Structure 1
């Protein structure tokens, strides 16, 4: 029994296969704390989203706007046959029903000047903005007879304008629309949140001058909004144009309509973009009776957010944790095999834990500084720690320098990958191919039959 134990112990110390099994088992064991690191990053990321929601709630949420829309009341009648028991006959009762027809503008032009900035709460930040919006355009009454609405049935004296919008809290100016020589103020009527992705509120004016409706007329209105993350409009005009300028350098153009490439400009100082949407480009009409359908999905505009925040970068970096640990252990394993230097499993474990500490340092420091500074501090700290530790293990300046150089190249490689978007897969694949080729070249002289 003792002899078998001695043989097994000798096999563990001298066999390449045994060392490979031990190193592989240690890599799998280190996946446990690495998983907790990913959970930590996820928790901090969720905390950031909660803080962003809190900031946006106080400042002003996303802005979605569509209108103005002309609202005309008209009356229809329903007839009901009522049986009269006393006379044994039927009587026709006529009941008036109030209906509405909603008419979209012929032309809608929106100009938006957006001043963006980052808002902080503790260690977290989000993008907020103040937008000066100018709307102008024209209305022309369609042939309502085709919809079965006669001129006599319309109550011309009670025509109003409505405007649908989110984020009432963010409005910083009085809301009114100028038609001819008259200015009609808007008042909040009701909120309709059913089957909507946004909290949509409806504003309505007082009654307008019916004389204006006798021929096509123009309108204009100005407003200032405090909002966050998104600014969008719905193209309710038969021809809708949107011109937007901002000091935000990383816009995300969202919705089903793209800005004009010929006029779009994005620089480090900001961006400008123009949209033009025709009625033929959208799947809804210019006139509706009784109710306006939910048109939120046809909105378009700009998203003012950080495209890749620090937690996303940390999460992407941690996804390469298994690769970093595996390649680092592989380097030590090859040095151990080629030089016959003995490295204890406990020493492998200490090196692995040091590699995992990189990610906790990265997350905690990036909350108080930029991601680049955090990556440099965490990387230099871990590389220095492992290099000094390996000096006591390997007893060789050449091997120690190689360890330090290898870790520096590895962390630099990971940083380049997580900064890239379109070429991350390509660069990562090429890099892994070169690493595999290097390992194959170095390991070609190892006698793998020694087991």
Structure 2
């Protein structure tokens, strides 16, 4: 059967063109996914550098103590049958165990100062220095609660124990003052792989009704500073010049005391014995109390790679909306745009993200976004000017792209309202497309 002279071949119909442009947009997801992999790779590289630097500089600072440790004698009786007399006898052996007592009052005052001096290649690793002052007192140990006979207590071998992480990055003399006696902390081997043990010299606490103590520790650290409230009444105060803290743990800072400004933050905690479900004294073994850690984590709200990743997630949206603009112009003006030209336009939009990530590593995200946007819009302006032969349409496309990139930038910067603003923006864009496409004859060639 011969084709009618007035019948249009399917490949030249509007439907065929829509299918080809749609398939091309889907095909461009392949290079876009490679760009997203590149961003993830660069982010992983930064994380490796951060971990390498913080291992040498210092990691999380977690402090647990001080704890009064007092040894006592334990007598173990064993019944056995004497092989000679054939009678039952009792053998008694003696060993030493330890009783642990938490402070009556415990007060921590910590100052955290960020240090931006560590650079490794393209990456600026943000770390800090912290000074922690601790003072408080122990009540007279109550051995009756632990069912320990005080006659078996070795008072003259009592020590003070402090458990802390990141001891290798401590920058202070490890001195402890108990009442009027100055003692020296020593690092001791510990089966607990999380904490390092600091143990004071032996001192005689016989008859002490109220043991007052104080010490100060300074660390190079990163990520967080946290405490465990082992005091019957524990108070913690933290001051820092960090602008983006994240207060963590099951204990919240005092209402009205927490403040975050451009100059830093301040927070206070006051925790009593009734707020935590563990005792003041233990025999033989200390419990695991890491779940009661609280304090502050110093964070970067959105770093450059997170922003690039979020921008790349809108890549398909940018390609789809840009192709839609070109297709509507082509349909309204009856100017033919070849599928190859659509491909060049799509590749330019994908290359925007490689420009963005490469410039961001040497500048800020905002500057990189502005430069990449300007470069792509200028390139597409001159390209569309050459294929459409219309300055009016070229200017319109440049303005439309500028509006889309500004819209995406606003969404990226927003955190709590990104979904709301994005949904409203897309709804308005759909309304504009529906308005301009309402009178198009989709059956025309």
Q: TM-score range by the shorter chain?
A: over 0.9
Structure 2 residue aligned with 1:209: 204
Count residues with an aligned counterpart: 443
State the SS of the aligned residue for 1:214. coil
Which range is displaced more, 375-384 or 258-267? Answer: 258-267
Deviations 1:310-343 (A, max 9, x none): 0000000001111111111111111111111111
Structure 2 residue aligned with 1:10: 9
Unaligned 5+ segments in structure 2 are none
State how far apart, in whole Å, the 2-side matches of 1:144 and 1:8 are: 103
Q: 1:38 aligns with which of 33, 36, 39?
A: 36
State how far apart, in whole Å, the 2-side matches of 1:21 and 1:224 are: 66
Deviations 1:331-386 (A, max 9, x none): 11111111111111111111111111111111111111111111111111111111
Q: TM-score, normalised by structure 1?
A: 0.95
Q: Is residue 294 of structure 2 the alignment partner of residue 296 of structure 1?
A: no
Q: Structure 2 matches for 1:2-151, cutoff 5 A?
A: 10-13=9-12, 15-118=13-116, 119-151=118-150
User: Is contact 1:192–1:201 with CA below 8 Å preserved after alignment?
Assistant: no
- What is the CA-CA distance between 1:208 and the residue it aligns to? 1.4
State how far apart, in whole Å, the 2-side matches of 1:187 and 1:162 are: 10
- What is the CA-CA distance between 1:450 and the residue it aligns to? 4.4
Structure 1 residue aligned with 2:414: 420
Deviations 1:210-234 (A, max 9, x none): 23x5202211111111111111111
- What is the CA-CA distance between 1:117 and the residue it aligns to? 2.4
What is the aligned-residue RMSD (CA, Å)?
A: 1.8
State the SS of the aligned residue for 1:353. helix
State how far apart, in whole Å, the 1-side matches of 2:215 and 2:285 are: 24
User: Is contact 1:127–1:305 with CA below 8 Å preserved after alignment?
Assistant: no
Deviations 1:53-72 (A, max 9, x none): 11111211111111101111
Q: Structure 2 matches for 1:47-446, cutoff 5 A?
A: 47-118=45-116, 119-193=118-192, 199-211=194-206, 213-446=207-440
State how far apart, in whole Å, the 1-side matches of 2:37 and 2:282 are: 50
Structure 1 outlier segments of 4+, above 3 Å: 6-10, 191-194
Q: TM-score, normalised by structure 2?
A: 0.96
- Structure 1 residues 334 and 191: alpha-carbon distance in aligned structure 2, compared to 1, 3 A threshold: farther
Which range is displaced more, 214-223 or 155-164? Answer: 214-223
